[in-house]
Chains A and B, each alone.
Chain A
Amino acid sequence: MSGSSRADGRTATQLRPMSASQGVLARADGAVRFGFGDALAICSVNGPMEAKLKEEQLDRATIEVQYRPATGVPGVRARVMEAAIRDIVEASVLANHHPRTLVQVTVQHLNEAGSAMATTLNAVAMALLNAGLPLRSMPATTTCAITADGELLIDPTAEEEAVAASIHTMAFVQEQHQLVYIESTGHYTEEQLAACHELCRAGADKVYAFYRVALEKKLAEEGFVVEAAA
């Protein structure tokens, strides 16, 4: 895994340029459009708000997740992604601060161009923050693909994913680098997984730095003075 460049000119350890627009929807409490290059997803968060009687939980907020693909009706893959998103949201949100309420998380994929799960989860994390929900932690997610030659590529494009031997998506929380989510498909060895873990963790740090810059920029626009990072 030397510095061999990829079809789009990146090195093996380079993420695509990230983009984020915060507070983009008028009716949602929080909404963020997040992108890794051309891979784009938008997430809206509503709540805590009134829950239906049968959905109400006495000690915590109910979390409702909806994932919608860019093309076609939601199918099995959408259900799987919803389950993963719900797990991560439940791990991040301090749901016991708002008992008997509902938190609604809706993700709409806008353009599929590889690293779908990472794009989605980063949009969700930023939207939770944008909605002002009390959070325990904020997950940062990256995807890593292993090619047939054993080369590790971070943030693969759809073309790279199509020919990859295995694909690994990992989410980490904050600077402690704790792994909160992992999904792997394909054939790979233990050593390869460990190497992927290293690479994804380094990627997550970059995503974190991006979260920070994006938030600081937004706060500055709103007139808050942001102190330098400790």
Chain B
Amino acid sequence: MPREVEPSTIEREFVLAALGQGKRVDGRTPYDMRAIDIQLGPAYGLAEVALGKTRVVAKVAAQVVRPYPDRPNEGQFQLNLELSSMASPTIETGRLSEEEVLVTRVLEKAIRQSRAVDTESLCLLAGEKVWSVRVDIHVLDHYGNLIDCATMAAMAALLHFRRPDVTIIGEDVTIHTLEERNPVPLSLHHIPLCISFAFFEQGEQLVIDPSYLEERLQDGDMTVTVNTHRELCALSKAGGAPLPSEQVLRCIQLATAKGAEITERIQNAVRASLDALLPGGQKGSGGGGIGLDR
């Protein structure tokens, strides 16, 4: 397990000097996000999102379970994120890193606690049977700003997911296969998205969507969770340089604009993929890249 190399003094000075002129090392301006690529399928609820070189896969699965005794009318919703050595060779498997805890915490706040998934609609038979929906988030490549990329992947996967249709007659619950009946989408209240910012020079300089290098040089960071209704769902700032309140308001404004843009991208990608997946449409091919018969 190699240790992470600290950015050198010369790297630090170069990044900061460039920022002073309103430029970033990767050619972006402070308010540009990296290119977003959303791939969905081949199965329902499988989404792969690339934010620049950061790459995250989210997979949604649902099964029927008995509800918690204190919440007989509510389905269950779980988020699961684990960093493996695939994301970066410096990550030790099995040991919970600080970063993993932070990312999971922000995701829980953004998606679960903002009640993005309507858990009451997941109830089949009160006190007996409910759906348990689980989102597994796999980080394939860690190139900075995991939080934003992971939320995008999770929300895209949830929007893309279809659970089997059910018929309830009295106490009998019949779960139909995908061939028998068209599967049904999850009921989502809203689409929360995280937008992260990094601060430099004691909170004076601000950049959106920090890269891995910027993340390691930053004085502080903040993640704003917004939805398309122009609502603020969560705000996370875990330490770092103190911020003037105008900076916070500026971040929220920027996040609202970016959030609306990204939501539209996700919705378009989901629609295009579902059109291809639904019966009658052409089924999407495998992983892309080189395809060869037999």
- Verify B286–A25 contact, CB threshold 8 A: no
23 pairs across A/B with beta carbons < 8 Å? A17-B285, A19-B285, A21-B288, A21-B290, A25-B140, A26-B53, A26-B141, A31-B86, A34-B287, A35-B287, A46-B85, A49-B2, A50-B2, A66-B93, A68-B82, A68-B138, A70-B136, A71-B61, A71-B136, A73-B80, A108-B57, A108-B138, A111-B43
**B138 to chain A: closest CB distance in Å?**
5
**B247 to chain A: closest CB distance in Å?**
31
By a CB distance below 8 angstroms, the chain B residues around A113 are 42-43
- Verify B43–A38 contact, CB threshold 8 A: yes
The B73-130 residues at the A interface (CB cut-off 8 A) are 80, 82, 84-89, 93
The A108-167 residues at the B interface (CB cut-off 8 A) are 108, 110-111, 113
Majority-rule SS of B interface residues: loop
**A25 to chain B: closest CB distance in Å?**
5
By a CB distance below 8 angstroms, the chain B residues around A42 are 86, 140
- Verify B42–A38 contact, CB threshold 8 A: yes
Q: Does any Cβ of A come within 8 Å of B27's Cβ? A: no
* Chain A positions near chain B (C-beta within 8 angstroms): 14-15, 17-22, 24-28, 31, 33-38, 40, 42, 44, 46-47, 49-52, 64, 66, 68, 70-73, 102, 104, 106, 108, 110-111, 113, 206, 210, 213-214, 217
A210 CA to B291 CA in the complex, in Å?
9
- Verify A110–B46 contact, CB threshold 8 A: yes
* Chain B positions near chain A (C-beta within 8 angstroms): 1-2, 42-43, 46, 48, 53, 55, 57, 59, 61, 80, 82, 84-89, 93, 134, 136, 138, 140-143, 285-294
A21 CA to B50 CA in the complex, in Å?
15
- Verify B59–A71 contact, CB threshold 8 A: yes
- Verify B59–A19 contact, CB threshold 8 A: no
- Verify B143–A38 contact, CB threshold 8 A: no
- Verify A66–B43 contact, CB threshold 8 A: no
A125 CA to B93 CA in the complex, in Å?
22
- Verify B286–A35 contact, CB threshold 8 A: yes
A26 CA to B86 CA in the complex, in Å?
10
Residue of B nearest to A210 (CB): B292
By a CB distance below 8 angstroms, the chain A residues around B286 are 17, 19, 35-38, 40
